[in-house]
Structure 1
Amino acid sequence: MIVSASTSQSLASALAAETGEPLAATAVERFPDGEFQVSVPDFDAQRAVVVCATTTADAHLEALQLQDAVREAGAEEVVTVIPYLGYARQDKAFEPGQPVSVRAIARALSTGTDRVVTVTPHEESVREFFDVPCTTVDAAGVLADPLPDLHDPVFVAPDAGATDLAATVQDAYGEGAVDHFEKTRHSSTEVELEPHESAIADRDVVLVDDIIATGSTMAGAVAHLQEGGVGRVFVTCVHPVLAGTARLRLARAGVEAVYGTDTVERAETTVSVAPALADALDG
């Protein structure tokens, strides 16, 4: 049975349709002191697939409560699908005295589940922080699906580390070049960004990344593309977090459209990772 948290209702519904498993009803009660309780009053299955994008602190707690609720209701196996793993970029202590936040999150989530499935984590190594088996699903390929017909496209990663993502999208699209931005720092405040190899004049460019949070990096990249006489600019990402005014920032920079998956449910969600998750659940 598919059990959805409030953050992943569309994805959980798509996953239920993809797998043929029933979709559980959930209920949330808020208390005057600010606490809340999420329950599964009609749960009746041997396996529970809890689907929860941990986009907020409340979402982390909701995942833990759902794990416990299905165990209490008699689930013999619990699989926790975390389409977007919050705190994944805090995968090391950057300063003395700091926590490895994603490790703490992973350990907590491991206590109530038999297995974890997550989608395109910022670093593949986060799997090692879970105390139960963790499967990662690469969803970058589906980002090619919503793209329009492109003119002599270049798929550009924001840095060399994300080049494989751009290559995956390019391969799924079927044509075009792959490149990444190189940063040249001229001063403490002046940084020049330009594609490493490809000429971009009059060509359509697709900027590819795993997560777009504030959009500031992407907006800066687009500004440099515009100076180079680029054709149309599109942005695509697995996790469209788009915090605050990120979408406005990208629009003002000249981005024609932003495409994301349903790992984080936003207006920019145009493609689902449900088929890939269904395959992982069967595996």
Structure 2
Amino acid sequence: MPTGPDRSNMIVPGSSSQEVATELAAALGEQLAEVEYRRFPDGEQLVQVPELDGRAIVVAATETSDAHIQLLQLQDAVREAGATEVITVIPYMGYARQDEAFETGQPVSARAMARAISTGTDRVLTVCPHEPAIQEFFTVPTTVIDAAGRLAEPLPDLNDPIFLAPDQGAIDLAATVRDAYGRGETDAFEKHRDRETGAVEIQPANLDVADRDLVVVDDIVATGGTMSAAIGALGAEPDRVFVATVHPLLADSARTKLANAGVKAVYGTDTIERAVTAVSVAPAIAEEL
């Protein structure tokens, strides 16, 4: 006798995270929910999910404010649809760089977002947040997933490579990619940002990059300005320059800036789906579920 669809466990994607959700469903062998995304004439959003009777894993990057709203709606929708447990996977968490109040009267935006997300879920997993300490802002159990090693997979065969971080804060990230690749050196630039003007001063690392392949590694490439300046500050000409980033935000003319700085290729993950997405973080997420 035929049976209806298995509704016990489902992977529920946000509209901008369908690729990573598909990869995660395949890795876990669980059903991928078909979600309906709607928008009313006044701009309000609405989602609709299938009925279910088990665990719901909501997979939704929050690279825009609308995406934050959609995530909250998905969490509420799966509860209404019968979910007995809700796990929220945030491949990329927006507002994570606002992890403190920069001036009196300003919010700690990362905390505000984390608290809102916590109200609709039993557990949170987030991939390589800009500041790992933001996990303390959530009021439910939270796991930070280090998926940087996945960036080694799409890299070509490299000539005596250097894995270079644009600042000291990303040196561990560069080392993770280097270790996953299997060989090479690591180093970092010194970066100083003026809080009032936002201007960034970069001091070049004391590296011999001549005739060697250079992989510049960072968690996020937003406008590409800092990374382009770092590459331009090199004292010698590398053989080839590649960029590896977990979150390829690539806003505005970022890709053009990198190309003009001599970057041969950019490799990103699917935490934010872009043309440069070359590898999925789903296997790293699946290991934690």
How high is the TM-score relative to the length of structure 1?
A: 0.94
1:31 to 30, 37, 40: 40
- Residue in structure 1 matched with residue 90 of structure 2 by the alignment: 82
Stretches of structure 2 that go unaligned for 5 or more consecutive residues are: 1-9
**Number of aligned residues:** 276
**3-state secondary structure, aligned to 1:7:** coil
Q: What do residues 61-114 of structure 1 show as CA deviations (whole Å, max 9, x unaligned)?
A: 100000000000110100000010000000000111000001000000000000
RMSD: 1.6
Q: What do residues 117-154 of structure 1 show as CA deviations (whole Å, max 9, x unaligned)?
A: 00011111100000100001001111111000111110
Q: Please say if residues 75 and 120 of structure 2, whose CA atoms lie closer than 8 Å, have aligned partners that are also in contact.
A: yes
Stretches of structure 1 that go unaligned for 5 or more consecutive residues are: none
- Runs of 4+ off more than 3 Å: 188-192
Pick which of 107-116 and 43-52 moved more: 43-52
**3-state secondary structure, aligned to 1:116:** strand
Q: What do residues 231-257 of structure 1 show as CA deviations (whole Å, max 9, x unaligned)?
A: 100000100000111011101111000
- Residue in structure 2 matched with residue 173 of structure 1 by the alignment: 181
1: CA distance between counterparts of 2:237 and 2:42?
A: 56
Q: What do residues 190-241 of structure 1 show as CA deviations (whole Å, max 9, x unaligned)?
A: 945312x43111111000000000000011111123x512110000010000
- Residue in structure 1 matched with residue 18 of structure 2 by the alignment: 9
1: CA distance between counterparts of 2:258 and 2:22?
A: 30
**3-state secondary structure, aligned to 1:263:** coil
How high is the TM-score relative to the length of structure 2?
A: 0.92
2: CA distance between counterparts of 1:11 and 1:48?
A: 15
Say yes or no: does 1:122 pair with 2:135.
no
1: CA distance between counterparts of 2:191 and 2:284?
A: 34
- Residue in structure 1 matched with residue 272 of structure 2 by the alignment: 264
Q: Please say if residues 24 and 43 of structure 1, whose CA atoms lie closer than 8 Å, have aligned partners that are also in contact.
A: no
- Residue in structure 1 matched with residue 3 of structure 2 by the alignment: none
Percent of pairs with identical residues: 63
The verdict on how the C-alpha distance between 1:2 and 1:191 changes in structure 2, with shifts beyond 3 A counting, is closer
After superposition, where does 1:1-283 map in structure 2 within 5 Å? 1-40=10-49, 42-183=50-191, 191=201, 193-195=203-205, 197-225=206-234, 227-281=235-289
2: CA distance between counterparts of 1:276 and 1:147?
A: 18
